[in-house]
Structure 1
Amino acid sequence: MKPSDKEEGTGRRHGGRYIYEELRRQILTLQLKHGEQLDEISLANTFGLSRSPVRDAMARLVSEGLVTILPNRTAIVTPFEIEEFPNYITALDLIQRAVTRLAAKHRSEADLLKIEAANAEYMEKVYQGDFSAMTEKNKAFHLAIAAAGRNNYLATYYDKLLSEGQRIQHLQFDFMTSQDAPQKLGRDHDELIAVIRAGDADAADKAAHEHTMLFQNRFLTFMQRNLLKDMDINA
């Protein structure tokens, strides 16, 4: 391989990672709206790169469920269907309970330190009021729990569910911060950490379920007060 070819390949990989990270950020923070079309050529022009790294980035976003390819090959930001929220909560609840239960059974002292460190980083962003970073640190906290459970199949699916949860959180950012002080938001994880440290699998299952229900109730309250005042939503 010529040096120039190697440099071009490296640049393409780095460019693809940058495009992926930027598009992912815009999708999760709702700068790119649900159902918005993503044109490969336009994106290549916007980022000043060829279509190849754009295609690589899009493929990764598709694998994470954040981008959908329609039958006519059009790429769009995966829509969030309100009607699917109960199904999302069911899936999140089952997986969250499973990974937290496993974490309580299999966690090591090193795992506990990683979980607590991830929560400390989350808390830092909560007190700073950096909501975008807060959702990322919240996800990292839950993935640290999943890693302690020693089941990559569950952890991979959990990652996808948490990414969708970030989009849902961004819908209700103003509402959440007006309803809950940082001290209250930050205490959401305390019980999860305590039961995992205690090694109590049943208590971990219960705490994880309650954590899911807290997320559900916040979102439903937000929707009923702000977007669906005339619609009854029951998960």
Structure 2
Amino acid sequence: MNTFDRYQGIVRKTLHHEIVVDALRELILEGELEPRSRINEVALCERFGISRTPLREAIKLLAAEGLLELMPNRGARVVALSPTEISDILQVIGALEGAAGELSCARITDAELAAIETTNEAMVAAWQAGDYPGYFSRNREIHEAIMAAAGNAILQATYRSLSGRVQRARFSAQKTEQQWARAIDDHNLMILLLRRRDGAALAQLMRDHIKSKWPVISAAYSESKPTKPAGQKQKQLSEE
């Protein structure tokens, strides 16, 4: 089920703004709106079934998150990061995931661990079946679940903000066979260290895991090209 199928039929006005923000964010994070691509407000309003007011509010919020760039009198476009910015963000994300790994080993519940194990099994199965969107989705869920298990709201909020800026490349870039094998091995080892509650070892693994992503993410961003703005699909978000 895709983003807009999930959001169809929701009519509560109190949720409307959040739904528009989530929908636009997902277009960016899943790569439909690529770095440097312009935001076509008319097309997106038609696609979502909304007026420009909630869309522009969503654009302002995502600009504050660092996902969009506001251009005076020219609308907005998806942010394109430089190699230096990507490297800086990954360094911080590595530190955050390392801290989360250590904290989660001390705080994770049996239920949370079981859920992560199940997600990891689903991720591996998706990879074996060649279902790469399914693999990347489960991969992201594992990292976010470990972060959540750390039980630190500030850590989680900071991570969410920074991770979103490189998420498209991080969770969808192509890998070599060696990189695939390492990714699978790393995640299996994460599960093992969580079971052992070995915080120091998991912290180091999480940092090293992020560091290994740099060549993949750098290549993905250097190859990104602007695409035509999204907005042609017919599924809508109800504004009523």
Contact map agreement 2:38 2:78 (CA 8 A) in 1 = yes
More helix by share: 1
Aligned length: 214
Q: Deviations over 1:127-157 (max 9, x none)?
A: 3333333323212111111111110111112
SS of the aligned residue for 2:62 comes to helix
User: Structure with the greater relative contact order (CA < 8 A, sep ≥ 6): 1 or 2?
Assistant: 2
- Where does residue 75 of structure 2 map in the other structure? 74
- Where does residue 233 of structure 2 map in the other structure? none
Residues 114 and 9 from structure 1, CA distance in 2 versus in 1: closer, same or farther, beyond 3 angstroms?
A: closer
Letter in 2 for 1:215: K
Cα distance in 2 for partners of 1:194, 1:84 equals: 33
Q: Could you list the runs of 5+ residues in structure 2 that have no partner in the other structure?
A: 1-8, 224-240
Alignment of 1:202 onto 2:208:
no
Cα distance in 1 for partners of 2:31, 2:161 equals: 17
- Where does residue 91 of structure 1 map in the other structure? 92
Contact map agreement 2:137 2:171 (CA 8 A) in 1 = no
Contact map agreement 2:70 2:76 (CA 8 A) in 1 = yes
Cα distance in 2 for partners of 1:180, 1:22 equals: 34
Cα distance in 1 for partners of 2:171, 2:136 equals: 8
Letter in 1 for 2:12: T
- Where does residue 24 of structure 2 map in the other structure? 23
Contact map agreement 2:136 2:172 (CA 8 A) in 1 = no
Cα distance in 2 for partners of 1:125, 1:119 equals: 10
Output the TM-score relative to the length of structure 1: 0.75
- Point out the structure with max Rg over C-alpha: 1
Identity %: 25
Alignment of 1:120 onto 2:118:
no
Alignment of 1:193 onto 2:194:
no
- Where does residue 108 of structure 1 map in the other structure? 109
Alignment of 1:214 onto 2:215:
no
- Where does residue 55 of structure 1 map in the other structure? 56
Alignment of 1:37 onto 2:35:
no
Cα distance in 1 for partners of 2:62, 2:131 equals: 24
Contact map agreement 2:140 2:171 (CA 8 A) in 1 = no
Cα distance in 1 for partners of 2:98, 2:151 equals: 14
Contact map agreement 2:29 2:168 (CA 8 A) in 1 = yes
- Where does residue 156 of structure 1 map in the other structure? 157
Deviation of 1:166 after TM superposition, in Å, equals 2.5
Q: Could you list the runs of 5+ residues in structure 1 that have no partner in the other structure?
A: 1-6, 228-235
Q: Deviations over 1:34-74 (max 9, x none)?
A: 12221433421343422233234434533543223245573
Contact map agreement 1:12 1:53 (CA 8 A) in 2 = no
Output the TM-score relative to the length of structure 2: 0.74
